[in-house]
Structure 1
């Protein structure tokens, strides 16, 4: 079941360099942030992966549209700030086409500290169960 207008979907991939000595603090901050957005955030999906050997983390967030991104920013700013105490963004990838306001907000938040790329959507789909979880093959 598709739960949104596929033409407005946005997928963010954030690659973060974890500060030396901050791995546990990073893990705790991410756990709190994800728990908060799971309960209150507009994201359709959030997944974070850690490569301890390289001290990199990769966060994927799926949004229905630019309004959902703005809502996330308003709700989760304290959690985002806490995560950023333990890392630096190395690369931020935007898949889809956010509106001008969200594009400007991303550029402003990242400044010159990291590599930022945009890739417009070509085609695809998302399946979710009515309960909001991923559809599983039977």
Structure 2
């Protein structure tokens, strides 16, 4: 797709892992991602850890704002478990969520971190059938 009429949303969440919580954080993320893979609406979830800086980066790709709302309803217990072991430092929204989702993101993060919204210009998504991470 080469127009900015796309509903696709990409979230990037940068989290500071609490000292002494790395293994618990890893376990909580693994559980959350396993749940999302089986039950969540995300098209893609990838999480990476920079142990040296005790930062984690999570990327989640959604078809649209409705998928984000579904994720929030299903995943709250998993999100809460992850948040016991980290703090959000930066949250980036790529794409244009509807007003309800934008307000939900702002409300959930309040003043705790840097929050940015970047509208889409152009792009495409190509998934290889059967590819597993």
TM over 0.5: yes
CA distance in 2, matches of 1:130, 1:55: 34
Q: Does 1:14 align with 2:7?
A: no
Taking structure 1 as the reference length, the TM-score comes to 0.90
CA distance in 2, matches of 1:130, 1:67: 24
RMSD between aligned residues: 1.4
SS in 1 for 2:34: helix
Determine the structure 2 residue equivalent to 1:34.
33
Cα displacement string for residues 9-58 of structure 1 (whole angstroms, at most 9, x for unaligned residues) = 00000000000000001000000000000000000000000000000000
Determine the structure 2 residue equivalent to 1:54.
53
Offset at residue 130 of structure 1 (A): 4.6
Determine the structure 2 residue equivalent to 1:108.
107
Q: Report the count of equivalent residues.
A: 129
Q: Structure 1 stretches of 5 or more lacking a match?
A: none
CA distance in 1, matches of 2:127, 2:56: 25
CA distance in 2, matches of 1:103, 1:89: 17
CA distance in 1, matches of 2:73, 2:29: 17
Alignment of 1:47-86 (within 5 A): 47-86=46-85
Taking structure 2 as the reference length, the TM-score comes to 0.93
CA distance in 1, matches of 2:21, 2:44: 25
Would you identify which runs of 4 or more consecutive aligned residues in structure 1 move more than 4 Å?
A: none
SS in 2 for 1:7: coil
Q: Structure 2 stretches of 5 or more lacking a match?
A: none
SS in 2 for 1:49: strand
Offset at residue 129 of structure 1 (A): 3.7
